[in-house]
């Protein structure tokens, strides 16, 4: 008899557990590569963090004020945002 493996469904990006804001553990995860984004999300969840995965830097900029994450993890190799342009856009969104 083989052991069945059932993967948990990924958490929708806008759904936060009730204690996520209280524990200051929300991570906005802006990684373009789906496999890497999912791998990081799974590991963050297992560490007690609440990742909010997005597939682009533009999506990250749009969501920053709604999600209000404690940490933002970005893909520094993204062709979408060069050098420090991303941090400038984040600053403009937050102000």
Contact between 21 and 66 under an 8 Å Cβ cutoff? The reply is no
Residues with Cβ within 8 Å of 74's Cβ and at least 6 positions away in sequence, in order, are: 30, 31, 57, 60, 81, 86
Full-model pTM: 0.64
* Residue-level pLDDT at 27: 94
pLDDT along the chain (95 residues), means of 10: 49 50 76 93 92 89 87 80 64 64
Measured CA to CA, the distance from residue 81 to residue 58 in angstroms comes to 8
């Amino acid at each position: 008899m083989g052991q069945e493996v059932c993967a948990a469904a990924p958490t929708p990006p806008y759904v936060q557990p009730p204690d996520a804001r209280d524990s200051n553990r929300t991570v906005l995860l802006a990684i373009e590569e789906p496999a890497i984004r999912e791998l990081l999300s799974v590991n963050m969840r297992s560490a007690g963090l609440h990742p909010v995965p997005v597939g682009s830097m533009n999506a990250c900029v749009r969501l920053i004020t709604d999600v209000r994450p404690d940490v933002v993890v970005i893909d520094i190799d993204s062709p979408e945002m060069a050098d420090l342009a991303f941090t400038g856009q984040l600053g403009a969104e937050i102000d």
